[in-house]
């Protein structure tokens, strides 16, 4: 399965995906990395891994549809079967999301449906939850919503601040995203209504790390 990764920043999740896909046993091949932010460190990571990169700066386009037309053109050119959002910090229109229905996945730093949006670690601490984590899900028009493929939970420690908690979640993200991508690329994560049915994945608990 040919995968394009959309990024906006440092790209540590991209790195986890690149590392996993470098293993010949991984069923996904990363064929393009596209950043909406010029100079994003994620681009360097992709170049080091020998993956084609492209900057599509949203500021250079007159409105979201024009920006997304350029994205679609680049994705088509790359022959992408699946889009992975990895720290891609632009909201996408319904039209773009519909075009990639069940073919676009995202990682979010919380146990959805809790803590959609930004500043998830601060908000988890304020809420006093004992467990926090991350989610990989198919993308739907509503922000940070869509059928959940896999989640990883981490404990919240009494002395945590947002940075410490965020670092623990990020480590979990780096394990979770390659696993979720594997499930999707192998055809073992199938959407059924609001849920994802996992089949034949070998490890019984691999959707809960
Ligand atoms: C990650 O924590 C990812 O879950 C989050 O941005 C960070 C990107 O880091 N994504 C979102 O908040 C999307 N709603 P990275 O660039 O090092 O992968």
Residue 203 — very low, low, confident or very high, per pLDDT cuts 50/70/90? low
Q: How confident is the model at residue 202 (pLDDT cuts 50, 70, 90)?
A: low
pLDDT at 159: 97
Entry pTM: 0.96
Q: What is the ipTM metric for this complex?
A: 0.99
pLDDT tens track for 58-115: 999 999 999 999 999 999 999 999 999 999 999 999 999 999 999 999 999 999 999 9
Residue 200 has pLDDT above 80, yes or no: no
User: What pLDDT, on the 0 to 100 scale, is given for residue 201?
Assistant: 58
With the most atoms of ligand 1 within 8 angstroms of its CB, the residue from 86, 145, 172 to mutate is 86
**Dihedral (CA of 150, 156, 161, 167) sign:** negative
Binding-site residues, ligand 1, Cβ < 6 A: 9-13, 86-87, 107-109, 144, 170, 173
Sketch out the chain's domains with CATH numbers: 1-100 (3.40.50.170), 106-195 (3.40.50.170)
Tens digits of per-residue pLDDT, 10-68?
Answer: 999 999 999 999 999 999 999 999 999 999 999 999 999 999 999 999 999 999 999 99
């Amino acid at each position: 399965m040919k995968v394009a990764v959309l990024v906006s920043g440092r790209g540590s999740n991209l790195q986890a995906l690149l590392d996993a896909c470098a293993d010949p046993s991984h069923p996904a091949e990363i064929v393009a990395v596209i950043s909406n932010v010029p100079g994003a460190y994620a681009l360097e990571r992709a170049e080091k891994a020998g993956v084609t990169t492209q900057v599509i700066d949203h500021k250079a386009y007159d409105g979201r549809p024009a920006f997304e037309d350029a994205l679609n053109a680049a994705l088509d050119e790359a022959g992408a079967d699946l889009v992975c959002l990895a720290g891609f910090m632009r909201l996408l229109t319904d039209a773009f999301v519909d075009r990639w229905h069940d073919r676009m996945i995202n990682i979010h730093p919380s146990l959805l449906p809790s803590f959609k949006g930004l500043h998830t670690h601060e908000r988890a601490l304020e809420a006093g939850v004992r467990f926090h984590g991350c989610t990989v899900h198919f993308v739907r028009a509503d922000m940070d919503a869509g059928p959940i493929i896999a989640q990883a939970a981490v404990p919240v420690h009494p002395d945590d601040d947002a940075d410490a908690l965020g670092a623990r979640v990020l480590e979990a993200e780096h394990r979770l995203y390659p696993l979720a991508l594997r499930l999707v690329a192998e055809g073992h994560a199938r959407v059924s209504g609001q849920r994802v049915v996992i089949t034949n994945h070998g490890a019984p608990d691999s959707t809960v790390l």
